[in-house]
Chains A and B, each alone.
Chain A
Amino acid sequence: GAVVSQHPSRVICKSGTSVKIECRSLDFQATTMFWYRQFPKKSLMLMATSNEGSKATYEQGVEKDKFLINHASLTLSTLTVTSAHPEDSSFYICSASGQGATEAFFGQGTRLTVV
């Protein structure tokens, strides 16, 4: 199956700093990428959907100024958590799908801890 690489897998940062998470499709062109957040033992919560070259569509309740998403190329999308606070500590996961694809492929996830 297609490969989606998400980096870093774990990150610890200080409160008030910003953290960037990368999601790369390694062997296909990802026209659409999804960013999720997941709390322990809970389901995935869709944060936003991004299409290459256009602005991301954020789900209700997700602060677009806090969670900056960039999908500038067909193989890379980034999620930047700005001015992180301890309550932003969570597991973030991306998934990517190609043009006309019937399924999306998931990255490995990033565990963010804000101290």
Chain B
Amino acid sequence: EAQVTQNPRYLITVTGKKLTVTCSQNMNHEYMSWYRQDPGLGLRQIYYSMNVEVTDKGDVPEGYKVSRKEKRNFPLILESPSPNQTSLYFCASRAGDRIHEQYFGPGTRLTVT
């Protein structure tokens, strides 16, 4: 089954404690991205990756890092989380030329206290 998986699904942490949210896809997609969803703001892109070792900033990259060492994985790293990063995070992937076929993961709800 084609899918994008994220872990953990729920996380409560404290300010400053480094964390990683993993994202994996089994469709051999070149393109992967991270979004955050906040009430009244819709989804905003954090980072994206066009392929292995190719990443770039989206609209709201501050406070986040990503890496793309393998095609299937695209982890989101918060080196020093802060309360304003409390949000619902989605990973997405698509084939490089298939802009119309974007697959979303189930989401990770992060709370930073």
Q: Do A and B come from one complex?
A: no
Residues on B facing A (Cβ under 8 Å): none
Instruction: Identify the A interface with B (CB < 8 A).
Output: none
